[in-house]
Amino acid sequence: MAAAARPESIPVGSRASAQDLRAAGEVAVRSAERLRARILERLSASQKAGAARTEALAALFPHTVLPAQTYEDLTAALLSGAHVLFFGPSGAGKTSLAKDLWELFPKEAWAVQGCPVLDHPLSIVDPDTADRFPPCPICRRRFAPEHDATRFDPRSIDASAVPAELVRLHEGFGFARLQGSSEVFPDHLTGNINLRRLEEIGDPMSPLVLEPGKLLQANRGMLLVDEIGKLPLGTQNVLLQALQEGTVTPAKTRESFPAEFLAVCTSNLSDLDNINDPLSDRLSSLHVGYNRHHADNRRIVTVGGGDRPFGFVPEILTDAGIRVIEAWRLRNSDDNPDIGEVGSNRTLIDVAARTSAIALLQGRSIPNPDDLKCGLIHAMRGRIRARSGESFQQNEKRVAEFVGQYLEPALKRSAGVYWCRFFRGPLKERDPDAQSLIGEGRRLTSDPKLAAQLHNEGELFPQFRGFAAWVGSIEHPPASLGNHAVALEEFRLLEQFSLFSCPEGVDDDASL
């Protein structure tokens, strides 16, 4: 192994010894310290590439869209080494943010070969490291004279005889995820010794007799606890002990195992009071709420729908659907358990998928406003919590009435913003060119034979061709549709809802 080589530069699976690592200057550090180094490295690279501070912070969490201050607060908490609790309304992006954190976390780590909890090799041979990161009982027995754990002394261990392997942390080994519920008992976290397997094997040092719980599985990495407030108090106390002491004692054994990890927890607003105070004090709380800016919500649909298999939806319809959900958020409480998720980010993303699906069922490759209306009702209705048939029907009616009231204003605003972007951008507010475009568009949308000529090379309809090129550049329709077909649909929407008007003060972020 090259001296002072970074784990990222060495192939996973590489073998060495504790002596090799010590000679190369390897140092055992806490999980939070490793994450801190990764964050600083990424920020430095982004800033050297010319990214602004806010852009560099947001780039750390590519699958979430949050206010700049939330990124700032979270990054500061992580750099300080804190465990974190994301709280907020359901569907606001808490779990996605936690997953982004795990993707950011450095995965390569040196571990004692064969250790079920990934002890660092230097904890076997270096007294200072062993004090900070006590090795597990299995490794103490394995390397102690005559396998007597009471005689384990790092100063007397032959470092060349301690095998090390570069591993990549993954589920069950450096990463564990726990879904909070009343049925998660302490031994889910601590694990236990399988007595029957011990009797069969007869070797207490064998890793095969240990069934590591979630806390042991997370050792040297990250523990994600979804809905921590739903854990029973006894289970919360086990987690608290691990955060305080960095050790865990599995059931049916008197020996403690290391449990050093970064804890990332989430909670809905309604469960916050169920988190006991001492555990809450160990977590740095960050509110993750719905975005207030329309542009951010538009980005959520782009990011969240990137891997969804739904078809194409015109931008005016996509934008209008987002505005209806934003209007719902402003006028309804997040705390209502029956409808709390109707305005969630998941609903934002789902609207486009439902709209496209409904259009396809009707034999249309490009959705229209009626498809959007049905898509909104389907997506929002699907997020109603069904506690009883009567309450569901009442909330379903409430959703339908809301969509009926707010969809047309949303379409008018979205169409107006769309036209203004083109009028003030490519057209540079040239009214004669705008009038020429409107005239060409009306002829094309009223005469399919003329519209077919758009696919031919030529100088006919120059203004509309320019509009179609702009539509293609911002919407990227699939090749099966093409820019011209989508531009014709957008033109119809503009004529129906915007009246090609661009008054002063039109703001993308304005609420309904």
If asked whether residues 84 and 135 sit together in one domain, one would say yes
| Kind and range of the H or E run holding 201 | helix 195-201
298 and 282 belong to one structural domain? no
Report whether 110 contacts 165 (CB < 8 A).
yes
- 187 in Cβ contact with 250 (< 8 Å): yes
Whether 16 and 118 share a structural domain: yes
Q: Are residues 144 and 41 in the same domain?
A: yes
| Angle in degrees, CA 477, 483, 484, rounded to 5 | 140
Q: Are residues 25 and 69 in the same domain?
A: yes
Q: DSSP string covering 270-298, please?
A: GGGGGS-HHHHHTEEEEE-----SHHHHH
Burial of 411 (0-12, 13-18, 19+ CB in 10 A): buried
Q: How many domains does the chain have?
A: 2
The pairing of strands 174-179 and 170-171 is: parallel
The pairing of strands 283-287 and 174-179 is unpaired
In 3D space, the residue among 307, 297, 311 whose CA is nearest the CA of residue 486 turns out to be 311
List, for residues 254-288, the tens digit of each pLDDT value: 778 999 999 999 999 889 999 999 999 999 999 99
Same domain, 145 and 264: yes
In a domain, 1, yes or no: no
The Cα 311–Cα 305 span in angstroms is: 11
- Assigned domain for 2 exists: no
In this structure, the answer to whether residues 386 and 468 fall within a common structural domain is yes
Q: Is residue 506 part of a domain?
A: no
| Final residue in a domain of this structure, among 230, 261, 286 | 286
Last residue of a domain, one of 286, 312, 339: 286
Domain boundary among 246, 270, 286: 286
- CB neighbour list of residue 189: distance below 8 Å, 6 or more residues apart: 178, 213, 214, 215, 235, 238, 239, 242, 248
Strand, coil or helix: 232: coil
Q: SS3 of 367, please?
A: coil
Q: How far is it, in rounded angstroms, from Cα 456 to Cα 476?
A: 20
In a domain, 206, yes or no: yes
Which tokens sit at 214? 């979630």
**Cross-strand pairs, 212:** 191
266: containing domain: 7-286
**What does the pLDDT look like over 405-428, one tens digit per residue?**
999 999 999 999 999 999 999 999
* 510 in any annotated domain: no
**Residue 299 and residue 268 share a domain:** no
Same domain, 63 and 178: yes
Neighbours of 494 (CB within 10 A): 22
pLDDT, residue 392, reads: 85
Q: What is the pLDDT of residue 2?
A: 44
262: domain CATH number is: 3.40.50.300
Indicate whether 511 belongs to any domain: no
What is the predicted pLDDT for the residue at 5?
55
Residues 213 and 311 reside in one and the same domain = no
- pLDDT score of 3: 42
Residue at 211 is within a domain: yes
Residue at 505 is within a domain: no
Residues 6+ away with beta carbon under 8 Å from 105: 31, 34, 35, 38, 169, 175, 221, 222, 262
Sign of the dihedral through C-alpha 69, 72, 75, 76: negative
Q: Which of 49, 47, 48 lies closest to 57, judged by CA?
A: 47
Alpha-carbon span 436 to 423, nearest angstrom: 12
Looking at the structure, do residues 129 and 256 belong to the same domain, yes or no?
A: yes
Residues 352 and 445 in one domain: yes
* Block mean pLDDT (10 aa), the chain, length 512: 60 94 94 96 95 94 91 96 93 91 96 94 96 92 89 94 96 95 91 73 65 93 96 94 90 82 94 94 94 91 71 94 95 76 91 93 94 96 80 89 96 95 94 95 92 79 94 92 94 93 69 56
Tell me the C-alpha distance between 62 and 471, whole Å: 26
Which tokens is 87 given? Answer: 């709280």
